[in-house]
Amino acid sequence: MTSTSQQFFSSLRERLGPEAVDTAPETLARYGANLLPGGDRLPSGVVYPGSTEEVQTVVRAANTHGVKLWPLSTGENRGLGYKSPVRPGQVVVDLGRRMNRIVEINESLAYAVVEPGVTYAQMYEELGRRGHKLMMDTTSGPPEGGILGNTLEKGAGYSPYFDHFGMSCGYEVVLPTGEVVRTSDGALPGSQTQYLSKYGYGPFLDGLFIQSNLGIVTRMGVWLMPRPPVVRSFFFSFPDDEDLGDIFELVRPIKLNNVVPTLLKVTGDLYAVGTEETYPFGRTGGRTPLSAELRKELREKHGLGAWIVSGAFYGATEEAVQPLIERVKAHFLKSGKARYISHAEAEKSRILKIHIDTFSGQPTRDELGLLRWRPGGGAAWFLPATPMVGRVANEHQALSRRILAEHGFDLILEYACGPRMSRALHLLIFNRQESEERQRAGRCMRALIQAYADAGYPVARAPIDVQDEVMARLQGVPEVLSRIKKALDPQGILAPGKYGIE
Ligand SMILES: Cc1cc2nc3c(=O)[nH]c(=O)nc-3n(C[C@H](O)[C@H](O)[C@H](O)COP(=O)(O)OP(=O)(O)OC[C@H]3O[C@@H](n4cnc5c(N)ncnc54)[C@H](O)[C@@H]3O)c2cc1C
């Protein structure tokens, strides 16, 4: 540890108390851990502020001693960075440990105010304690993941409130120089509408704090929806890989015309069965990836096809939603290839229940089963955009299958479909303990990013291993961000290198 970091840690021990600083080797190992091909990145220490004022103290001390910080809310960003800073030696500011209060729930205006450590599981429990009058949108990821951290990553769920940034309002931010700024209507002292009116007055600042290193967000409003009395999902299973094109053509009008209020998920076979199964190395004699025949066998074991389409309706009664279900049934069954699976039938399947849960605002642990598809604990997300055009979807499917197969990996893919664009959620699962496989996974991730970028399809989020490379492909924006960074963080203390911003 350098003498400047030592001075930094001693000054914080003095001002925040000894328990607010941890530099024990096991703590550094835990916070340096991630699941990515590039390896762990150990911080030089971890600090646990307990209030906005204490975050200001940490930031000011970092400026005084020239120490670099890495903020975390709950540190559950699995497959994108987990707890690990973008660069070794940065000091983790774990906000979630002590700043984890649900500050307010307003039931009539349907919003909550949260600190960084508030998890999906915690909010679900609190809403339940209050009689489930309100429903939150949740991810299908770890229930101990945080609402604020996920929002700052441009995370998303699947209900009508899927767009977590869109459904957040009014940030309290500690700037890299230590001042506090409140965005949206919160900028007016005494404002009564900070958590209600998103865009405020003048240029919209909130976006500056998303996927960035321009401030530490210490509080945020999140909009909730009144919980509908009845949530009824529907499922359609399609038998063949090439059906993806037809599925996209069927989904687009349903979303453009707002027939279904949720996103529509189009889940690939291995994304579905991989939550329950592990790679059958015994059957393949150790060969990878899984052959089309074995893949078919595995999905048929679970009564599923190559793609499963799902969505949900909300209503006052079962009778009110049934005609809507009949309408989508007629729409999808006209393809002649789809098999309908009802909500009641799906509830009996652990695999399909994951989707019912996410459409119902209920956190689930079951999708995390995907992380066990292969041994060795490696996982990385690749998240490009695909237009809602069947031809393009099938081209993308072929591109991804080819690149993954060339590197010996399986296509584990789910599309989260809106009216115009779908987020193609690729999960690359690999053995991180095997150095050759780990390096191959790194090459595969880069080959996917390159191929999609060359074809004109950017990603929305990227693992810390490649954040700078992805940013470097953009034109104009990196230069503007770098100028803003220099203005707001002249000493470059806040997470330099995050999302490629210096
Ligand atoms: C099987 C599986 C399914 C998943 N499903 C989904 C899904 O449906 N949707 C989805 O979005 N994700 C999903 N994920 C990804 C991920 O696990 C979640 O998005 C996770 O909730 C985000 O991590 P977090 O909330 O713990 O944020 P953190 O890890 O705390 O932080 C995330 C990022 O934001 C920054 N940050 C955090 N807090 C602050 C702050 N207060 N101020 C400034 N910067 C900050 C951090 O530096 C970090 O870069 C899934 C993962 C897995 C493994």
Q: What are 307-345's pLDDT values in tens digits?
A: 999 999 999 999 999 999 999 999 999 989 999 999 999
Residue-level pLDDT at 86:
98
CATH 3.40.50.11890 for domain 230-461, yes or no, is no
Tokens of 470: 């992805």
Q: What are 99-117's pLDDT values in tens digits?
A: 999 999 999 999 999 999 9
The amino acid that residue 345 corresponds to is: E
Q: What are 179-213's pLDDT values in tens digits?
A: 999 999 999 999 999 999 999 999 999 999 999 99
d(CA 317, CA 164): 28
Tokens of 375: 């041994």
Judge contact between 467 and 488, C-beta under 8 A.
no
Judge contact between 178 and 59, C-beta under 8 A.
yes
Inform me whether the pLDDT recorded for 428 exceeds 90: yes
146 CA closest ligand 1 atom index: 25
Residue-level pLDDT at 297:
97
- When pLDDT is averaged across residues 280-297 and rounded to a whole number, the result is 97
Residue-level pLDDT at 369:
98
Banded model confidence at residue 459, pLDDT cuts 50, 70, 90:
very high
Q: What are 147-176's pLDDT values in tens digits?
A: 999 999 999 999 999 999 999 999 999 999
**What ranges in 260-349 are assigned the alpha helix state H?**
269-273, 281-284, 292-301, 318-333, 343-347
Tokens of 49: 């502020």
**Strand 216-223, strand 168-174: pairing:** antiparallel
Q: What does the H/E/C string look like for 248-267?
A: HHHHHHHHHCCCCCCCEEEE
Q: What are 21-68's pLDDT values in tens digits?
A: 999 999 999 999 999 999 999 999 999 999 999 999 999 999 999 999
For residue 152 and ligand 1, the question of a CB distance below 6 A is answered with yes
Residue-level pLDDT at 3:
81
Residue 473 is classified by DSSP as: T
Dihedral angle computed from the Cα positions of residues 242, 246, 248 and 250, in that order, rounded to the nearest 10 degrees: -160
Tokens of 167: 């459904």
Inform me whether the pLDDT recorded for 4 exceeds 90: no
CA 431 to ligand 1 center in whole angstroms: 22
CA 138 to ligand 1 center in whole angstroms: 12
Substitution candidate for ligand 1 out of 51, 136, 139 with most atoms within 8 A of CB? 139
Side-chain half-sphere CA neighbours of 294 within 13 A:
15
d(CA 334, CA 326): 12
Q: Which of 176, 161, 174 is CA-nearest to residue 219?
A: 174
Residue-level pLDDT at 2:
79
Q: Which of 153, 36, 42 is CA-nearest to residue 430?
A: 36
Tokens of 461: 């989020």
Q: Return the minimum-mean-pLDDT range out of 4-8, 106-110, 229-233.
A: 4-8
- When pLDDT is averaged across residues 460-467 and rounded to a whole number, the result is 97
Tokens of 472: 């470097």
**CATH, range 3-95+491-500:** 3.30.43.10
For residue 416 and ligand 1, the question of a CB distance below 6 A is answered with no
Question: Closest residue (by CA) to atom 13 of ligand 1?
Answer: 141
Residue 77 is classified by DSSP as: B
Q: Which of 218, 193, 156 is CA-nearest to residue 424?
A: 156
Q: Which of 134, 311, 163 is CA-nearest to residue 228?
A: 134
Domain residue extents for the chain:
3-95+491-500, 102-226, 230-461
Inform me whether the pLDDT recorded for 1 exceeds 80: no
Q: Which CATH class is domain 102-226?
A: alpha beta
Name the average pLDDT for the chain.
97
